[in-house]
Amino acid sequence: MWKSFCRWMLYKKMRWKTDITEAHPEKYIICIAPHTSNWDFIIGQLYAGAESISCNFLMKKEWFFWPMGIMMRKLGGIPVWRSKHTSMTDNLAQTARDMKTFHLAVTPEGTRSANPEWKKGFYFIAQKANLPILLYGIDFEKKIIVCRKTIIPNGDVEKQMAEVKDYYKDFKGKNPDNFAL
């Protein structure tokens, strides 16, 4: 029933389309951009429901207040304490190695505001756990969700992050002025 509702809402009512060419193995990280609005989360959740994709996601701890925190955790949310210097990448990489399946969605900008200094934690998690990174773009102008590229981390962080950013250069977020490469 949930899948039918999500498909109806996203594809029929809201008229979104998809262009997904990349395989989704048992374990992966989704890098998703641009992240310029809270609508990104809603579109992402509808897409996940419509396509029966179960995926955890990182979100700042401020969203995990009661009773919202209960819902966020149920949806797969993992709170991030940005002020604490913890080994979250190490912990998530170890969890990925230990699990039979592992799906994590990350917005590399780390904020809905324009931020050209993208976070690299998703890259390091993928590298440490030997996971592919699926590049998902949400284009509000064209109303399309796209995944046409996979990155396999090779340790050349700067070069591969430039490749990731280049992939997203043509996507238009809900608030395009909030997207910076």
pLDDT tens for the chain, 181 residues long, are 999 999 999 999 999 999 999 999 999 999 999 999 989 989 999 999 999 998 887 766 676 678 877 876 777 676 766 666 668 888 888 888 998 999 999 999 877 777 788 989 999 999 999 999 999 999 999 999 999 999 999 999 999 999 999 999 999 999 988 887 8
Q: Is residue 21 part of a domain?
A: yes
Give the domain range for residue 48: 2-175
Strands of the sheet containing 56-60, edge to edge, are: 17-20, 144-151, 133-139, 27-33, 102-106, 56-60, 77-80
Q: Is residue 11 part of a domain?
A: yes
Q: Is residue 128 part of a domain?
A: yes
Q: Is residue 180 part of a domain?
A: no
Domain count, the chain: 1
Which amino acid is it at 31?
C
CB 122 within 8 A of CB 134: no
Q: Is residue 70 part of a domain?
A: yes
Q: Is residue 137 part of a domain?
A: yes
**What pLDDT is stored for residue 69 in this prediction?**
74
Q: Is residue 38 part of a domain?
A: yes
**What pLDDT is stored for residue 56 in this prediction?**
83
Q: Is residue 181 part of a domain?
A: no
Give the Cα separation of 103 and 21 in Å (integer): 17
